[in-house]
Every structure is written in structure tokens, then in C-alpha cells.
Structure 1
Amino acid sequence: MSGRNGLISTAELADILGQADLRLFDCTTYLEPAPEGAGQPYLTVPGRLTFEAGHIPGADFLDLQGEFSDPDIELRFMMPDVAYLEAAFGRHGVSNGSRVVVLYSIGSPMWATRFWWMLKSLGFESVAVLDGGLDKWKAEGRPLETGPAKGHGPATFTAKPKPGFFVDKHETLAATSEQGTIVVNALGPQFHKGLEPSRYGRPGRVPGSCNVSAATLLDPKTKAFIPLAEAEAKFKAQGITRDKRVVAYCGGGISATIDLFLLHQLGYDKLTLYDGSMGEWAKDASLPIETG
């Protein structure tokens, strides 16, 4: 793995495919428009069909909403409790002895970086995101496998949870007036400015937050991450420096993990995710919102 443990190239993955202690996962979810009156901004569709149509040999499939999110909260993708996640990862063969867990997704790495963030918060360090995901793997003509996941035998995973990876709306509101903390929005600039209707509720942003859109941190052709020097320039242009604590958010706590992943690669270590993000903030009339 290259960089600060966390990024693996397609060539590096090809070299370790088939190793017994590798756990490789397709994490793709699709967001589809919700019908009127559904009560949700979008429908979450696990990427099983595209997985079965073609996946990296030996990969298993992880259903983020169906198996790795809190089932008792109306908001999508919320972090469940530790015991729930220990059991879920264990069902997929992840143990404390797994040498490396490699995560990938289709179209955007955000589903993989979300799982990376979750595993890091549980104290699991041997985890990497595939640069360029399945898109780059396929573009390079590398082998694919079809059909349902074969999976791995169940394992025992014991988490060592780390504090500070997630904050709620109250902590996020407090962060807006904390010296030394910067809140960053990973949504596109038009949503940051409140120029377009929001599927989450009130248009706009967390007051005082800056904008580093996750989409600008990716190469649109290869789906790989942009060079670290380019990413750092984008963060610094918004006043994000290593001495500051960063609270990142987006719509549902997914694309913001792209920002967090690159900040981690750059050596920033005071990193936090507002898990509820605009899915929660925009609906809560007691919370301030800013536009323009």
C-alpha cells in the first residue's frame, strides 16, 4: 500500500489477489430518486446487480444501508453501535487478524471511503481503498468474476473504538464558533450556496462552513484521487491547515469521507465526520442555515 496506509493501486491489488488473509469488498450503493411521499430524499439500492455482473475476483459485497447502518434511525447510513458492527464485519470474515481489508466501489470511491472511516473508528488499521475503484480496474483490462459473492467463513472481530470520529448536530453547531475548528462541506458549490433546491430540506449550509466539493478531489475520467499536492492546495485555499480540527459533512455522511480520506493521506489528524450531515441539519428548524 502506498502513501499513508490507506490507498492501494490496481497494480498493488493485482499482486495480492488470492492471498488467504486478503478481504476484498465491493461497497457500492446507488441513490435513486424517491417517489413522492416516500419520506426519504432518495432510495438506497445496494449494488448487488452490478456486483454480480462483474467484480474483482475474490471480492465479497457489503450492503451499507442494509447491514452496516443503524436500522432504528430514519436517517440513512447512520453509524450503528459497536456490537452491531462487530457482528456484521465478522459475518463477512473480517477478524482482528485479517492482514488487509481492501475496499472499492463503482463510479465514486465514497462508498469505500465511508467503510474505511467506519473501520478506522473501530480501531482497525489494516484497511485500504482501491484508487480508481472498479472503474479503473476494468479500464485497465484486469480480470473480473461474475455471479453472487462466495464470501468468507465467519470470523470474530473485536473492535477497539476510538473517540472523536463522529459528531452530532449539537457538537457541529458548537464547532461553528470554536477557534481552531473549521467546518467543511463536501457537497457541490451550488448546494453549498443554497442556489438549488435541496433534497434534504432547507437549502444552504452549516453557517460559516467552507466548501471543498468531494467531486473536485477525483479525476473524472479515471475515478482515481487527484494528486495529493493538488488536494492540499484546494484545502489550504479554504483555510484548512494541519493545526485545525476539521468537521466534515455532506448530504448523508458519505461523500465527506472522500475529503477526510485525502486529509488523512496528507497527514492531517484532527478529523471528524458530522454523521447526520444535511439529511439531519436541513430538516431541523432549530438549527441555523446560511445561503449565498
Structure 2
Amino acid sequence: MVNHPESLVETGWLADHLLDPGLRVVDARWRGDDSGYQLYQAGHIPGAIHLDWHLNLNHTLAGVRDLILPAERFAAVMSAAGIGDETQVVAYAETDYSGAARLWWALRYYGHDQVAVLNGGLTKWIAEGRELTRQIPEISPAHFTPQPRPALFATATEIQAILSDPATQASLVDSRPREQYVGSAVWTPHGSLYLPPEEEWVDAGGRRLRGGRIPGAVSLPSSENLDPQDWTFLSPDDLRARALANGVQPEHRVITYCGVGISASLGLFALHLAGYPDLALYDASWEEWGHDPDLPIESSTPVTRELDKLGIPYRVFRHPGEVRSLEQAARERDQRPEQVVRSIVFRLAQDEFVMVLIAGPAQVSWPALRAYLGQSRLTTATEPEVLAATGYNVGAVSPFGLPAPMRVLVDKSVLQEEIISIGSGERNITVILKTEDLLKVLQGAEAGEFGVKGG
């Protein structure tokens, strides 16, 4: 596999080349309230111009919003921005690279390969104490010749053909946050809009959308391609390992999508850095797919898939927003706090873990747990350990659908309730089921007194 370091430039390189005559630096910051240009005016990298993907580079067609401009209109915008056929473009943003990655994809789609993204973006540039300016540069128009590359552009028709032929060597990558992937929310310019409880559709700024994902798509949220310490991209090896771990093979044609083709551009860029050769963006993304009732969707979680396989009845409840307390969770689920079951993972030794199920405000009793397990040393598993051991993030842990068998202890507080709710494998989504069915699935679970009454 061939990596592409030429597509990613470092802040030091850019600082040394700011005065190069053939270079055009583009500030691609944007905001849901269209205030990206105001951010640019307040301070930007010297010589940079501003292009907002939402305001300058997109249009609406047949009700589908934020599609890339047709060739002639795109060429006119580039020419007016001083980007010609020989111009080297470097695009940057902040911690959200989506605007820069979108410009990178758009230029490459229209045949312009001399484009790179600034690693670490403006965030790293500022952290290094580099110069900012408020001066708006004068722009000399250039000539941009669009030469579309259809292979970089995916459509709903192509995806339907992939879904109808399981033998096709293709991967669908969902670049949205996981709450959108599992169907509890949809994209808006201001962030995730959660569906009302028990509803399948929601009005997203005048566009009626379903929650869910394209069948067979894997979840690779675009933000997870970055190191949150300095907002640089993960190494090509790490990006490749992340994709491979989710079944995205280098020999596949890989199609990324998101809400409107913006974070999918970042996901596609990361796969490009990882050396994946055959990449395409589904530009219309969920804006089209989620609106059309004739197109198939999935909205299951790892836990519901496990319960379905076992024939266990349950009900999924999607919270309308972030859950921040036990009381809020119970209230929105129309339950008492004692019906809300938490799954807590403890580390006994290296690579040896145990999960304790405990209900409501009850707290795990460390002395009781140590005595039962015969362990003098016992620690709560760290977030990375929880993810590695269960496949779930903290706040979404469930005893169902684990990648490997794990010892499960059920506190008596759980057994006192007829109906309980428990983690679904995804944050802000819960599974409601009978306690007796919980125990049917967890036949090897050990019941006992592992908790003390909480406040």
C-alpha cells in the first residue's frame, strides 16, 4: 500500500513556504451559523484566503442540500479565489478538519492534485506561537480547468448495486458520530439532532429524515482519525489498522458517507493517507438516503443484534439528547431509578476482567466484591481497558454481544425488578427487557450481594 505524505503538510513546512509564488493557502473554517468568515477576519495565517464549503462550494439539487457545485460553477469559484491549474493549495481548519478535507476532495474530484491539508490545522499553528494576521490579501484571478473524475464520486445507484450483490468487493464507511450511525440522531449544521423517543423520522431544518445507516456500513467516525493531544492525524499505520479492524480491506472499493458529505470527506482523506487506493465519496449521503423511504436502512446496535439472534423480546429506547444522570435516564425512560442497570467492569489482573451488574443508586461494595472474588487487589477498568475488553465505550457497556466470554456478577438489586433497562452498546440508547430474560441470556452469571444502598 502506498501512503501519501504529499497530501499532508506540516506547520513548519508551511511557515517556510508562505511566500512561494505558486502557493495558495485556504482558511476553510466553517460554522453552522455561517460565521466562518468572521473567524477568518479575526485572525488567520498570513496570505490565506477564506472559502466556506457550506456557502461557497455547494448547491441544492432536487431537494438534496450541500451537493458539490457543478463543474463550471466550481471552476468560477476557484478562478476568482486565485486557484489556477498550476496552483499548490494548502487548506486548513481547526480541530474539525472537515472544511479543509472537503476542499481537498473537491479539488481532486475536479482533477487538481496539487492540494494538501495542514496537519494540526490552525490549532497547532497557534499553539506553536506562529504568526496570525487580520490583513485580507488581494486576489489575482486565475484560470481553473475542471476535469471531473467520476471514480471519486459515488451515487445511491452504485450503492444499491453493491447491496444487491454480496460478492462485490466494496466497503461502506459511515463517518458520522455513533449516535447517528445507530439511528438515534441525524446530522444538522449545528450538531446531532436526536429523534423523539419511539419516532423513526425527524424534521432536520425542513428536510424529513429517518434515523439509521446504510445496511452493511461500518462505523468509523471521522473525529477518531485525529490525535486529540495536538489534533494531528494518526499515523498511516494506525489509520490503516483502524480500518482493517472494522473489515475495510485495501483491495475494496471504499465509499464514505455522512450527513451531507462533509465529515465523510475527512474520513476519505484519512483512508487516503492510510494508502487505500480506490476511494469515493457519496456526496448526497444521508441527506438523500435518509430521506427516501424506498432505500433500505439499518438501525440496530451490537446488543440488539445479539438479542435478536437469541429470540429475546426487548424494546429500544433512544434518548432525545445526552444523558447526564441516573435520574434523567430513569425519567426519560418512564422508569424508576432502581430499574436502570449499570454494567461496571473491574480488572482483576492483566487481561482478566469481571463485570458487575448493579441497579439504580446502589453502589458496588469493594469489601464484598474483594471477598467474593478472593482478590486483595481490585481496580475499576480504565476507559481503554473497558473498550478493549467489551467492545463498548464507558456509558454504553452491556453484558450482551461481548467479543470474548467474561465473568458476570449480578447484584441482588437487579433481581428485585421485573423490568429493567440496560446498556445497548451505544451511548444514549438503552434496551428495556424483563429481568428473567436477562438471566436467560446470562446463564453463567453469578448472583449475589455485591452492592450497598446508594444515596
TM over 0.5: same fold?
A: yes
Q: Given the alignment, which residue of 201, 212, 215 partners 1:207?
A: 215
Match of 1:6 in 2: 7
Contact 2:98 2:262 in 1 (8 A): yes
Match of 1:47 in 2: 36
Match of 2:422 in 1: none
Give yes or no for the alignment of 1:83 onto 2:91: no
Match of 1:35 in 2: none
Letter in 1 for 2:6: N
Aligned pairs, number: 277
Quote the Cα distance in structure 1 between the aligned partners of 2:219 and 2:25: 32
3-state DSSP class of the match of 2:209? Answer: coil
Query: Residue 4 of structure 1: CA displacement?
Result: 3.4
Query: Residue 20 of structure 1: CA displacement?
Result: 1.5
Match of 1:130 in 2: 118
Quote the Cα distance in structure 2 between the aligned partners of 1:235 and 1:177: 23
Gaps of 5+ in 2: 186-193, 196-203, 301-455
Alpha carbons of structure 1 residues 151 and 28: separation in structure 2 relative to 1, 3 Å: farther
Quote the Cα distance in structure 2 between the aligned partners of 1:271 and 1:75: 22
Contact 1:17 1:57 in 2 (8 A): yes
Match of 1:21 in 2: 22
Alpha carbons of structure 1 residues 71 and 186: separation in structure 2 relative to 1, 3 Å: closer
3-state DSSP class of the match of 1:175? Answer: helix
3-state DSSP class of the match of 1:31? Answer: coil
Letter in 2 for 1:230: D
Contact 2:120 2:231 in 1 (8 A): yes
Q: Given the alignment, which residue of 103, 106, 113 partners 1:115?
A: 103
Query: Residue 204 of structure 1: CA displacement?
Result: 0.8
Letter in 2 for 1:52: Q
Question: With structure 1 as the length reference, what TM-score do the two structures score?
Answer: 0.90
Query: Residue 71 of structure 1: CA displacement?
Result: 5.0
Quote the Cα distance in structure 2 between the aligned partners of 1:46 and 1:219: 26
Which is worse superposed, 237-246 or 150-159? 150-159
1:1-292 correspondence to structure 2 within 5 Å: 3-32=4-33, 45-72=34-61, 74-98=63-87, 100-147=88-135, 149-178=136-165, 179-196=168-185, 197=194, 199=204, 201-292=209-300
Letter in 1 for 2:103: F
Which is worse superposed, 156-165 or 246-255? 156-165
Alpha carbons of structure 1 residues 7 and 145: separation in structure 2 relative to 1, 3 Å: same
Give 1 or 2: higher strand fraction. Answer: 2
Contact 2:92 2:122 in 1 (8 A): yes
Quote the Cα distance in structure 2 between the aligned partners of 1:144 and 1:276: 36
Contact 1:136 1:223 in 2 (8 A): yes
Letter in 2 for 1:133: G
Query: Residue 165 of structure 1: CA displacement?
Result: 1.2
Letter in 1 for 2:93: S
Letter in 1 for 2:145: T
Gaps of 5+ in 1: 33-44
Query: Residue 215 of structure 1: CA displacement?
Result: 1.1
Alpha carbons of structure 1 residues 236 and 177: separation in structure 2 relative to 1, 3 Å: farther
Contact 2:227 2:233 in 1 (8 A): yes
3-state DSSP class of the match of 2:90? Answer: strand
Query: Residue 195 of structure 1: CA displacement?
Result: 3.5
Contact 2:236 2:275 in 1 (8 A): no
3-state DSSP class of the match of 1:285? Answer: coil
Quote the Cα distance in structure 2 between the aligned partners of 1:76 and 1:26: 23
Contact 1:92 1:151 in 2 (8 A): no
Contact 2:4 2:272 in 1 (8 A): no
**Aligned residues with identical type, % of pairs:** 35
Alpha carbons of structure 1 residues 288 and 3: separation in structure 2 relative to 1, 3 Å: closer
Letter in 1 for 2:223: A
Quote the Cα distance in structure 1 between the aligned partners of 2:130 and 2:184: 42
Can you list the C-alpha shifts for 1:142-193, whole angstroms capped at 9, x where unaligned? 000014x324210111122212111222222222344201111001222211
